[in-house]
Amino acid sequence: MKFVDETTIHVHAGRGGNGCLSFRREKFVAKGGPDGGDGGDGGSVYLEGDINLNTLVDYRFQRDYRAQSGQSGSSRNCTGRGGDDLVLKVPVGTTVIDEDTEEVLGDITDDGQRLMVAHGGFHGLGNTRFKSSVNRAPRQTSPGKEGEERNLRLELKVLADVGLVGLPNAGKSTFIRAVSAARPKVADYPFTTLVPNLGVVNPHKYRSFVIADVPGLVEGAAEGAGLGIRFLKHLTRTRLLLHLVDMMPPDGKNPADNIAIIEDELDQFSPTLWSRDRWLVLNKVDLLPEAERQQYCSDVVAQLGWEGPVYQVSALSAEGTAELCDDILEYLEACWEAERSDPEVARRELDVQHQMQYEARDRIESLRRSRKSDDQEEDDDFDDDDYDVEVVYSP
């Protein structure tokens, strides 16, 4: 199975059944009158969230879907059978967009939530419907209407409370292994993580949050370099970003410069995402000499002028991770409580998420157009980029 987070499909709702032209004919009944029944309504097309799915791979190979049409009416005022609705299962976190109008039809954020994407055609009327005091034997019927037809783009964004960002090999996968039961692949080479990984963190009993690890960013990611641009959109649903930085990078660069690279890429990709709450996590501090550790970390923070929270951890040994997770949980619970008690706060948060998603789609589409204008292949990283990526997605 492959991890696919974006695909396009064509859906066509069922056609309504035609009305029937019929007259009652029985022995000893000379003029029984009209008895043509109506047709049945066409089936509609729905998308339904399924918590057991985590990829759109099923829709990569089959693109056309059609609901059942309604049956025509018959004599004796019999109504035709309505067409069955077509229900397509999609992962929770799927955004549905009309390809032709770029209209966002809706977000599927709950298990079992249904979204109608194509309405079935209305049934035709039998000649009984046209009987009147001046027209006792009508020969008029109406045909069934065609069902709606749409080209849809499905975009999957993982539902996580916290997102991890950083350069390749900053220790993001090691961190998520240290704080959750997720077991993403870890190795000492860049881009070990090729797809998002989810982990459920339980600092305390019955209190938890979801954290997402996306492939590392590189300089120029906002212009399409590396893997990060493909998956940054998954962070648009998060409430908090953790910026992990390697305090002993193998290339010997200044950690402050590496932090600035990610800051710039986030700002270019989505200014709204960049302005979200971010905490700086200085990773691999166990590699620093004990006597110099605090001073070195303070110097890095001072060079950046960082004003937000700063944590020193070692993801490999889980040093400092418990305190960080406790603080994250308290922060998230405060956000959730504020939204429950004040609908205006919840509305503002939803508006911010929609703005981030809009900026992400706009950025990705602009890169697609620029690549096509350069006469590059249409099956590049933005069109079929996930085809050969193995799943290591671990909720």
Q: CA 261, CA 259: separation in Å to the nearest integer?
A: 5
pLDDT band at 230 (very low <50, low <70, confident <90, very high): low
Report the percent of the chain where pLDDT is more than 90: 27
Residue 169, Ramachandran bin (φ over 0: left; ψ between -120 and 50: alpha; else beta): left
Q: CA 158, CA 198: separation in Å to the nearest integer?
A: 8
Token look-up 């049934």 returns 123
> What pLDDT, on the 0 to 100 scale, is given for residue 208?
84
Residue 93, Ramachandran bin (φ over 0: left; ψ between -120 and 50: alpha; else beta): left
> What pLDDT, on the 0 to 100 scale, is given for residue 297?
87
> What pLDDT, on the 0 to 100 scale, is given for residue 365?
74
Tell which residue, 288, 60, 70, has the closest CA to residue 156. 60
**Span of 43-52, 93-102, 198-207, 341-350 with lowest mean pLDDT:** 198-207
Beta bridge partner(s), residue 183: none
CA 382 → CA 4, 75, 142, 376, distances in Å? 11, 55, 47, 11
Query: Containing H/E element for 32?
Result: none
Residue 393 has pLDDT above 60, yes or no: no
pLDDT band at 388 (very low <50, low <70, confident <90, very high): very low
pLDDT band at 223 (very low <50, low <70, confident <90, very high): low
Quick: pLDDT tens for 13-71. Answer: 999 999 999 998 888 877 788 999 999 999 999 999 988 887 788 888 889 999 999 99
Beta bridge partner(s), residue 246: 283
Q: pTM above the 0.75 mark?
A: no
pLDDT band at 395 (very low <50, low <70, confident <90, very high): very low
> What pLDDT, on the 0 to 100 scale, is given for residue 389?
35
CA atoms within 13 A on the CB side of 140: 7
Q: CA 208, CA 275: separation in Å to the nearest integer?
A: 25
DSSP H helices, the chain, are 58-61, 172-179, 228-231, 255-269, 271-274, 293-304, 321-341, 343-373
> What pLDDT, on the 0 to 100 scale, is given for residue 224?
53
Quick: pLDDT tens for 234-289. Answer: 778 788 989 888 888 877 788 888 888 888 878 888 888 888 888 999 988 888 88
pLDDT band at 122 (very low <50, low <70, confident <90, very high): very high
Residue 221 has pLDDT above 80, yes or no: no
pLDDT band at 394 (very low <50, low <70, confident <90, very high): very low
Q: Is 346 exposed, middle or buried (0-12, 13-18, 19+ CB in 10 A)?
A: middle
245 contact partners, CB below 8 Å, separation of at least 6: 166, 167, 170, 255, 258, 259, 280, 281, 282, 283, 300
**The token pair that represents 10 in the structure block:** 């064509």
Tell which residue, 297, 276, 277, 272, has the closest CA to residue 358. 272
**The token pair that represents 190 in the structure block:** 């860049």
DSSP 123: P
Q: CA 42, CA 148: separation in Å to the nearest integer?
A: 10
Q: Which domains does the chain have, with CATH numbers?
A: 6-156 (2.70.210.12), 162-373 (3.40.50.300)
Beta bridge partner(s), residue 117: none
Spell 261-284 as b/e; 16+ CB within 10 A means b.
bbbbbbeebbebbbebebbbbbbb
Quick: pLDDT tens for 281-321. Answer: 998 888 888 888 888 888 888 888 888 898 998 888 888 88
Quick: pLDDT tens for 68-96. Answer: 999 999 988 999 999 999 999 998 888 89
Quick: pLDDT tens for 148-200. Answer: 999 999 988 777 888 888 887 778 888 888 888 766 656 554 455 556 777 88
Over residues 326-347, the mean pLDDT reads 90
Q: CA 170, CA 228: separation in Å to the nearest integer?
A: 14
Provide the 10 A C-beta neighbour count for residue 341: 9
> What pLDDT, on the 0 to 100 scale, is given for residue 92?
87
**The token pair that represents 138 in the structure block:** 């009508």
